[in-house]
């Protein structure tokens, strides 16, 4: 029952995506947000900082998501802290729980059709101990669906002098730091890569090709969520292997390792 409800929620969220795009994009194609305003009606333009951009986008779309939940009879619970999973928990009338993470990424100008990889949550901690409540609102096993609301944007060419504070009556002179925003919603496992996110983090990485993100055609899509779970629950970095040989580093090697067990 809950799995069917998960697909229903996914479809509803996909139908909501154009509304979110309309909110984030101005008629010119630039981001509709320009800066932060204080009580003296001074505007402080936004910078390129990806964490700042992500947080402002999240603040903008949260009311839409809460209104959406009210419309369809879902109860929502917001992550109490920044490092908690997921960003939003949807609970339907049958008490089925669904996880939604909001992820943003930017197009890479030097690589057409690619974006900077998103991280899709840890592959240790609560992901492996599915009864744990550490850094997760409910135990992972209680969620019947794990979704990503993805936001892809292009960074605008803004010079540092354009970040100086300005009076509110000069708002129209402030250029947006991002533009051409695209919104999609997909199962987490369908856009996951078989490689960790950037750096030495123990996070699941996403695929980088925009077409694969929009179509949900990552390497795990054809194999299903169970293979995705098994792969990442057993994945080891060199550090985690503690001097031993890591069992596998990609999906092809995983199937070889799996068949030998």
- Ordered by start, the domain boundaries in the chain are 2-260
Collapsing DSSP to helix, strand or coil, 176 comes out as coil
Q: In the structure encoding, which two tokens stand for residue 95, read together? A: 């008490």
Average pLDDT of the chain is 94
Angle at 254 between CA 253 and CA 256, to 5 degrees: 65
Q: Is the pLDDT of residue 247 over 70?
A: yes
d(CA 172, CA 225) in angstroms, rounded, equals 47
d(CA 99, CA 102) in angstroms, rounded, equals 10
Residue written as tokens 């899709």?
A: 120
Report pLDDT for 238.
84
What CATH class has 2-260? Answer: alpha beta
Q: Is 101 a catalytic residue?
A: yes
Report pLDDT for 161.
62
The torsion defined by the Cα of 131, 143, 195 and 179, in degrees rounded to 10, comes to: -140
Q: Is the pLDDT of residue 141 over 90?
A: yes
Cα–chain-centroid distance for residue 168?
Answer: 32
pLDDT level of residue 25 (50, 70, 90 thresholds): very high
Region for 197 from its dihedrals, namely left if φ exceeds 0, alpha if ψ lies in -120 to 50, beta otherwise: beta
What's the length of the chain? 261
* Average pLDDT score over residue span 39-57: 93
- Set 87, 92, 194, 229: catalytic member: 87
- Set 92, 97, 103, 190: catalytic member: 103
- Set 92, 97, 101, 229: catalytic member: 101
d(CA 251, CA 125) in angstroms, rounded, equals 21
Instruction: Give per-residue pLDDT as tens, 66-92.
Output: 999 999 999 999 999 888 999 999 999
CA distances from 250 to 205, 221, 228 (A): 12, 15, 12
Q: Is 215 a catalytic residue?
A: no
């Amino acid at each position: 029952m809950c799995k069917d409800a998960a697909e229903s929620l996914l479809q509803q969220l996909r139908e909501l995506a154009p509304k979110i795009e309309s909110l984030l994009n101005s008629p010119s194609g630039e981001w509709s947000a320009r800066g932060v305003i204080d009580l003296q009606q001074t505007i402080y333009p936004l910078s390129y900082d990806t964490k700042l951009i992500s947080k402002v986008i999240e603040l903008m779309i949260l009311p839409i998501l809460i209104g959406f939940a009210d419309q369809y009879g879902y109860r929502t619970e917001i992550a109490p802290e920044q490092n908690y999973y997921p960003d939003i928990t949807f609970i339907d009338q049958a008490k089925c729980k669904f996880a939604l993470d909001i992820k943003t990424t930017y197009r890479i100008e030097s690589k057409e059709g690619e974006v900077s990889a998103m991280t899709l949550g840890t592959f240790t901690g609560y992901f492996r101990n599915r009864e744990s409540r550490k850094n997760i609102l409910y135990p992972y096993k209680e969620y019947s669906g794990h979704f990503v609301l993805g936001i892809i944007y292009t960074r605008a060419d803004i010079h540092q002098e354009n970040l100086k504070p300005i009076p509110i009556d000069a708002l129209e002179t402030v250029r947006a730091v991002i533009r051409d925003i695209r919104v999609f919603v997909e199962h987490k496992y369908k856009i996951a890569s078989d490689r960790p996110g950037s750096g030495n983090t123990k996070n699941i990485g996403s695929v980088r090709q925009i077409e694969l993100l929009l179509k949900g055609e990552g390497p795990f899509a054809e194999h299903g969520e169970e293979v995705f779970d098994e792969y990442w629950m057993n994945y080891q970095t060199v550090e985690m292997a503690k001097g031993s040989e890591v069992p596998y580093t990609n999906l092809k090697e995983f199937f070889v390792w799996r068949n030998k067990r």
